[in-house]
Amino acid sequence: MKIKILFLTLFLVISCNNSSNESSNGDIYNLKQTAITNAIQKASPGVVGIHVETTKLVRDRYGRPRLSEGGGDGSGFIVSKDGYVITNAHNVSSIIDPNRRGQYKLFVTFSGGSMLDARIIGYDAQTDIALLKIDGEDFPYCALGNSENLSVGEFVIALGNPFNLFAESTKEPIASFGIISASNADFGVQSNGVVLDNMIQTDAAVNPGNSGGPLVDANGDVIGMNTLRRDESSNIGYAIPINKIKNIVEELKIRGSIDRGIDFGLGFINLYTNQLMIKYVHPRVALETDLSVYDIVLSVNDTKVSNIKNFSDVIKRSDVRPGDVIKLKILRDDKVKIVNLKTR
């Protein structure tokens, strides 16, 4: 009887241990399948590498002609099953450069290593956004989220093709994890005319080649496009908010470019007193507003201006389009007035 009891006890202990091990393994698997891994798995199939191959005729130091081959690599993400791809305009700058010479080839790399030719539908140099197209159907694509009301501390993942590793070795997007470390980062108008404002700052690694890739939230939805990093730091990167990208892309689909040919109906002059004065008012504007020659412009859309460059920068940062209304604060006869001006 004692032997039977001992055997039954040993059997129960072994059974419990096996059950405990199975439960433990299940717990470990569940822990590994976190929201972050699920987000990466959701977004990765729509992430692509962007590649530009160039062939140019150049001359060596003796004047002898020869062919020179080069190229560049970046990242992008598919946003529709019929093959629209979003990336940074600077990733295809060698193709869209009006002074380009030679032959260029543009293609994208998918997870698994397959490649397809791509073409440029449109681009906007001011916001550094380009829209590409690949031929085909039923492509995997990234879900676009909402970049409004983002909170510092939110988990994010940067996906892309840093150092061309996606294409050359891993055959899948490289992922780096971090948080939103700041929002609405503002660098203003750059020397090349690119406007970098309201950027999402993250400590997820954004390395060379990540440009144009998606920044996704813990749900795997795209909230921004990785665009630049601080040269002196390896853990501060910036992304263009997806809501801004959506607006630009819709117009690029239709027009191929962004219409910013604005007619204010005004002429300006910089005064030595560091003030911006109106020197000309179109008859149409004179009829529609109370603006007058010699008015001093103090601010545009509540941003202080003191010269023509200030005025131009504010217009670029506000992304003013034909038909938009701008708010001018002017000084006339020691009195401040607010005037709303509709652009044409």
- pLDDT of amino acid 136: 93
Q: What is the mean pLDDT of each run of 10 residues along the chain (344 residues)?
A: 40 44 52 80 96 75 66 91 96 80 85 92 94 95 95 95 81 92 87 88 92 96 93 81 95 91 91 94 92 95 93 89 92 94 90
**Residue 255, CA distances (Å) to 19, 122, 240, 249, 260 in order:** 63, 8, 21, 10, 12
**Rounded Cα distance, 245 and 157, in Å:** 18
**Rounded Cα distance, 229 and 213, in Å:** 13
CATH of the domain spanning 36-258: 2.40.10.120
Q: What is the DSSP letter of 229?
A: E
Q: Which residues pair with 237 in a beta bridge?
A: 202, 229
CATH of the domain spanning 266-342: 2.30.42.10
- pLDDT of amino acid 153: 94
Catalytic residue among 44, 51, 94, 128: 128
* Catalytic site includes residue 217: no
- pLDDT of amino acid 260: 84
φ, ψ of residue 7 to 5 degrees: the values are: -60, -45
Overall pTM surpassing 0.85 (yes/no): no
- pLDDT of amino acid 24: 52
**Rounded Cα distance, 168 and 152, in Å:** 34
- pLDDT of amino acid 54: 79
* Catalytic site includes residue 203: no
**Rounded Cα distance, 254 and 321, in Å:** 16
Catalytic residue among 147, 181, 211, 299: 211
In degrees, rounded to 5, the angle at the alpha carbon of residue 75 between the alpha carbons of residues 126 and 148 is 60
* Catalytic site includes residue 90: yes
Catalytic residue among 44, 51, 73, 90: 90
Element (H, E) at 199: strand 199-202
- pLDDT of amino acid 200: 96
**Rounded Cα distance, 215 and 194, in Å:** 20
- pLDDT of amino acid 327: 95
Domain parsing of the chain, residue ranges:
36-258, 266-342
- pLDDT of amino acid 34: 84
